[in-house]
Amino acid sequence: MNQSFRIVISGGGTGGHVYPGIAIAGELKCRLSDCEIVFVGVRHRIEEKIVPREGYRLKTIHIQYLTRKLSPKILSFFFSLIIGLVQSLIFLIRFRPQVVIGTGGYVSGPVLYAAHLLRIPTLIQEQNSYPGITTKLLAPRVNRIHLAFEETIQHLRVKDSSLFRITGNPVRLPREKIDRNLALAKFNLQPDKKTLFLFGGSQGSAALNEALLSALPQLSPEIQVIWQTGVSQFETIKKGCDALPHWIYLQPFIYNMIDAYSAADLAICRAGAITIAELAQMGLPAILVPLPSAAEGHQEKNARVLVDANAALMILQQQLSPKRLSQTISELIFDVNRLDSISRNCRTFYRENAAAEIADSVIELIEKN
């Protein structure tokens, strides 16, 4: 296909919504020789850091998060929704894309709806087993819906089943781990120690950070840590680590996750859909601590699928204590046979061609229209 193509990808607020778009964009760039891709997001959110770093242009619109509680903020949300819709319409009319892709988060709502009003072909990529509110509201109005879980279909009011594709979640990682010792060297860590990798999503997790900080004095000094704290807690955790005997690599945010995954023997993390997809690709054993406030408990549902297949361990946040965390880490991280078994089982959840199949759908929509 030699003509020039313009594609919009909208999704943001968390890395779990941004990184699938990055993976899809990368696949489209490989397929279409002349392709301009613009991301739409919100100012002061994680997409402002990630998207330009990945080499794509970011257009921001004004839209606020919809609170689930009755409060005056609901009125300001609807006001911002109107502004965001108008901004989206103006941008799409000027940019004239052939396809608009939504990867979730509240920012994708006005962009997808504006594309629907302008009769631009649209595609949704939903990461979780229980769909977000944007997906539920706009699924009946889009041209193609890509899902990670077949059970998601029952939560969507879409009469035409031909719109659905079960493709798994696209991830932006290279297909294979890099050499472990090379990865460890990038973090100034030792090859003869066991490596724990804690990350609480793109914004960090106070609950995970505080639990590990309190658990570390109970852990063997033969355990070293790669630790993504999030921006808001970095200084606090840094001070708390000063007196510990462990080797610790501490950062607010880690961009090159393939290095951390390749260096780690065990992860402690949330159970978002993209996190699980990346763990599965890397075959990295993990202690999953689902975010209790996730809509409809979808993170716990995600985690239980892996736990039932002996592909991960889970500690619910209300049961997370320094003692339980340190015991679980100690029992697992030195048990090579158990780690190998969990790793093999985890890999069975990896869908290798998710980004490629979504790119196929995008190209089909372009050709039809």
Convert the pLDDT of each residue in 315-354 to its tens digit. Answer: 999 999 999 999 999 999 999 999 999 999 999 999 889 9
Query: Are the folds of 5-173+352-368 and 180-347 the same?
Result: yes
pLDDT band for 2, please (50, 70, 90 cuts). Answer: low
pLDDT of residue 67: 60
Domain regions of the chain by residue span: 5-173+352-368, 180-347
Lowest mean pLDDT among 31-40, 123-132, 240-249, 295-304: 295-304
pLDDT of residue 61: 94
pLDDT above 60: residue 228: yes
Q: Is the pLDDT of residue 73 over 80?
A: no
The pLDDT of residue 198: 98
Rounded Cα–Cα distance for residues 365 and 115 (Å): 14
Give, as one character, the DSSP assignment of residue 159.
S
C-alpha 359/C-alpha 266 separation (Å) is 32
pLDDT value of position 32:
92
- Bridge partner list, 249: 226
Average pLDDT over residues 225-236: 94
Mean pLDDT estimate for the chain:
92
CATH of 180-347, one of 3.30.70.120, 3.30.420.10, 2.40.110.10, 3.40.50.2000: 3.40.50.2000
The CATH topology of domain 5-173+352-368 is Rossmann fold (3.40.50)
Amino acid at the residue 290: P
User: Which of 141, 133, 129, 10 minimizes the C-alpha distance to 65?
Assistant: 133
Q: DSSP code of 56?
A: -
pLDDT top residue among 193 and 44: 193
Pairing of strands 99-104, 122-126: parallel
pLDDT for the residue numbered 69: 61
Residue 356: partners with Cβ closer than 8 Å, 6 or more residues away: 27
The residue behind tokens 């799409």 is 92
- Whole-model pTM above 0.85? no
